[in-house]
Amino acid sequence: MLKYDAITIGKSVTAHREHLGMSIKTLARKTGISVIRIKKIEAGERRPHIASLAWIAWVLGMTIDDLVTAEIAHEKSTEN
């Protein structure tokens, strides 16, 4: 089973959002999640509910698996 933590998810959300040139405010508006909650998710202070994670992934054009594993894959590639 894939385990992930709030920091991993936060880094991944931030990286993908910034890659798309999307502001936190835009992500919040498109997902229906408050700006404050998005900021806490990105900072790793809050682990999002699965429904929130699904909305974030959808708005960023990816799946939940992509969002969770993207940061893990990046970390593994930088370890070598």
CA angle 29, 35, 39 (to 5 degrees): 130
- Give me the helices (H) in 1-80, please: 6-19, 24-31, 35-42, 50-59, 64-79
CATH class of 6-79: mainly alpha
| Structure confidence at residue 41 (pLDDT) | 96
pLDDT string in tens for the chain (80-residue length) = 445 688 889 999 999 999 999 999 999 999 999 999 999 999 999 888 999 999 999 999 999 888 887 655 555 555 55
Residue 34, phi-psi category: left (phi > 0), alpha (psi -120 to 50), beta (remainder): beta
Token pair for 47: 């682990």
Q: What's the distance, Cα to Cα, between the start and end of the chain in Å?
A: 24
The domain limits of the chain are 6-79
